[in-house]
Structure 1
Amino acid sequence: MRALRAVAASLLGLVLVLGMAWSAPATAGAAEPTAYVAITFTAMTPSLPDRNDPKATVTLQGTVTNTGKSELSNLQAVFWRSFDPIQDSEGMAAALASPADEPLGYRAADYYENIPSESDRTLAPKKSTDFSVTIPMSALKLPSIDAIYLLGIHIRGRLVPNGPDITLGRGRVFAPVVSGEPDNAAQLSTLVVLDSRPSLVRQGVFADDHLATELGPDGRLTALLDAAETPDASFAVDPNLIEELQTMRAGYQVLRPDGQTEAGTGQSAAGRWLADYTRMARTQTGYRLLYGHPDISALVHAGMTSVVDNGETAAKAVTTTSALPLLAMPASGQADQQTVEYLAGLKPAAIVLDDSTTAQTRPLLAGPNGVPLLNTAATSVGGGPGPDPSDTPVQIRQRTLSESWLEAGAAGPADTIGQLRVIRTRAQARSSTSEVTAPWLKREPLSRLLDSTPASWPERYRYPESAAQKELTQTQLGGVGRLVAGYRVLADLLVRPADVELEADAAPARAASTSWRSRPDLWARFVDPQQARLDDVQHAAVTIIATPRVVTSAHRVQFPVTVRNTLPRSIDDPQRNAVQVRLRFTSANSQRLTVTIPADEQRQLQMIPADAGVTTNAQVEAQTNGTVGVTAQAYTMDGTPVGAPVPIEVKATQAGTIGWLIAIAAGIVLVGTSALRIRQVARERSRDGAAAEPPADPSDGTDPTSEPHPAQTVPPPSETDRGDAPRDPESLDV
């Protein structure tokens, strides 16, 4: 029996081992547990729980949303905590990467709230309700170790009526629970970035009205402006944002999908925001961003840095921000050495990089050409831990407090430590206006950090392929290049190119904005109307009016040609939109016929007022009769064709008349000359014959004055007059 029991025990152990081995794969690969609700934290008080006060409490507040398709019942919000202390950055990283049920932690079953209410504990699909749960610090029973702990809420309830109670969802926050202070303090500098996706497509017209939403009472730009006003905060503003808001304040239109426009809705909101900005900027430390916040890395790698340079020219025209020092901020703080060196050449006050690029922890680093690098921990404003939503202001604030405590505790007494928080989103802005204070934190403006000595480092920049793939696409960069070319043609066409130089500098920088990363549809909606307008200018701003058929009746004739400027006229400025062109004709057979514009006539085309035309004369040179096709084309002064080519048929009908007249006259002269010569020879022969005849003998009875008989006057030729005997040379002229 003992032997059988031993065998049975061995078999049972084997079965258990095999069972565990068999079942392990079913749970080992589990990530986030299934959730039927989403928990959004709205408050945690206090942000630093006091373990030394026996009466201290902690309260978590938030919203629960039923994300499933079925009604939930018997709902209850229960306080939860983990007893695992987090005392270093590795522990923070592990907690951020962990699923919501790792560690499992413990629910404080006695501290809960029935939701939505005691009398109604059901929640329909897509509906939300609030919760608020408070627990005494003593009831948390946390280890007596100064550390970061995870606190949270579990939502318990039923998926089906009368079913079992299960955990429907989880939410977690970081909480520093400490009794002492670190030996060192961390400097906390906050930089609020005031920018937005560009929208201005032409003077007074916007691609959409998203700025009106961002300027609303609960909008992103409103929250960011509030954050910039907090004590010791600094701000960096995009000059393009100020320019667009100034345009909105003056009244603006918004493009509709059909190409028509309608009145925008943010005029008054833009005026209020600009007034609040002006008041804030008087007291806070401010910087300006590159105009349009362009994708520096993409433009540098594509050899298109002139877009950035021209944007800086446009920034000078925004007087509200032109005096602020430049702060260069590559997208996501990621850049390679080539990009950083280009930015250093712009002489900014600093270049803001993410610590994933530098692999450094110190907040201020030495950079190229004496330009310092502001080293940010971008993840510190990323919120967490999960599950989503994990970027609430509460979670962002608690993470900042936790990471700064770890940094201060790890630093030596002589170490200069700190953290730069870059605020871009509404949630980040709300967290920065919340109470982010702690004994180990010292809030300083950014200028104070820049006044310190930058730390030396190897200056090796990490820019992985994953970062390069986020840059603007080749299609987008090609579109930016076409805008540049289109404005170049427009400027060359106008008599006063300065009228569009500012727009030509600004538009490509807006089109190359970092805002367009991973947004090709929005980018096309913004760029296409601008490119269509430039194409229309090149193809239709100048028209040629000429008769389609010209008939000449002479070797050289002229015919009129009118060049018309179709650009709109300005009543206040008659010279605005005036154009200058060169007119050229291309002949299908230049050997037979050419058409040119004389220089004095060409000069008339160097000032064609808007909505008007200038008529000049074209000169035809025809060498032979016949019909030749000619094409008239207008060009800018730089040689770019503008407007549509116009075909003209030129028929020369008497191109050889002069030649024939000369030939006929020459023939008449020849005939006349020949006749005169014949007559002259005849007379000479007559005289010679008379001299050879002997005088008449009066004795023969003839009259000496009578005409001689021809037979007697012209003797018959002798033998010597025939054959090869030389002939009278005078006979060759007859």
Structure 2
Amino acid sequence: MAEAADIKGISHSPARRWLRRTASVILGAPLVATLLAGPAAPGAQAGEASKAPAGSSTVDVTLDSLAPSAPVKGDTLTVSGTLTNRSKETVTDARVDLRVGPRLFGRTSIDAAAERTGYVPGSDPAAIGGKYTLKIAKLPSGITQNFTLSVPVGKLGLDDAGVYQFGVSLSGQTSRAPYEQVLGIERTFLPWQENESDARTRITYLWPLIASAHLTAETGSDEQQTPVFADDDLAAELAPGGRLEQMVSLGSQLPVTWVIDPDLLAGVDAMTKSYRIKVGDTTIAGKNQAVAKQWLTK
């Protein structure tokens, strides 16, 4: 009785009354927050372990392929992936939806979209819906199921060229939360160019067109100062089947950009006119003007 009297006396002291009021406010705050937040997500209600997956973490959505990766007008986009129920409950009345938009501007907005994990109403776009939805009657606990969805890009609401948010979500319900909600979502990015020519990556190959020097610093003793070549090997490279002739022939059929040695052009141009070739201590007249002209023309 003395102990009870002590407790009763302590509980009525001003300091203790203040402490009890403060504790009531602190303990009541989570309750108020919970009531304002609405119904608890699956796995997060009273009695559930805190480690249980909840809300949009209930189902793990994985994207395996997106084809074409850079669609253009007239294409059909096909998305494939897997769904894994990570909770201990069966998901029922489920459907897989595609979500597109809006266009992202700058690296900051792309990073912000990439960092989001769970479903965020208002930030994640609405589902396309209609016939571009895959319905799943039930997804038992721990089970993984494949999915594939196809949609014409004309139904995605893509406007100006750029990069758009693109997501795949699974909505459904469980016995503990018998109302429709997003239970899993995965996001990626969808580049969009209306015209195929704009979407195609342009590649060019740089082909060096070079040869060792054949034209000497000497000139003939005549008034025209006829150029003198150290040998006639350049003519063999320019003739049909020669190295330089094959490079020009093959390159004419490929998207190449020529990187041409000016000295080579100067030498071939000199061969189109009268020229001489050193043979020992003397020179002889060169006879491959036609070969040089044909190569320059090609």
Q: Same fold (TM over 0.5)?
A: no
Higher RCO (CA < 8 A, seq sep 6+): 2
Q: Which is higher, the Rg of structure 1 or of structure 2?
A: 1
Q: Which has the higher helix share?
A: 1
Normalization by structure 1: what TM-score? 0.19
